[in-house]
Structure 1
């Protein structure tokens, strides 16, 4: 088996074990992507000149094979909370992590 395929399997198994939500991805003028397995890290912290503070943002991570990309301004919907995509923090080719702001 190819090394890249082994890494993809490892990422998939790890993501399935750590995922805590299922949600939908909504973007203007594109069909919704429903039922994506997501890992949500709430209450992100930021280092600032006065120390560490909570940002109110959340990091949402998903597998590239479930959703190949997310665009700024699009939304994830988990339950009755919408999370606006602010930025992509990480994309290693297997998983993507977006910084989002919850909107109610």
Structure 2
């Protein structure tokens, strides 16, 4: 695999990981014991730490990418192993 392809796949894993990480560790203003500002949504986070979120996303994306790269190298899961409809003749290597 070329390094440019690996970088593009890592970026895809990183952008997917954002949606996996964002819901965790969020406290609303009401949960933090603060007062809502007029016009503020009740579900809005009390404090947003972009650096902390980016660090968590990078860790998750790196783990997922390493698993992907190991599978690419060693071939643990192949299209033939997940053939659910018995169409092995349509899959070419």
TM-score by length of 1: 0.25
Larger helix percent: 2
Q: Which has the higher contact order (CA 8 A, sep 6+)?
A: 2
TM-score by length of 2: 0.27
Q: Which has the larger radius of gyration?
A: 2
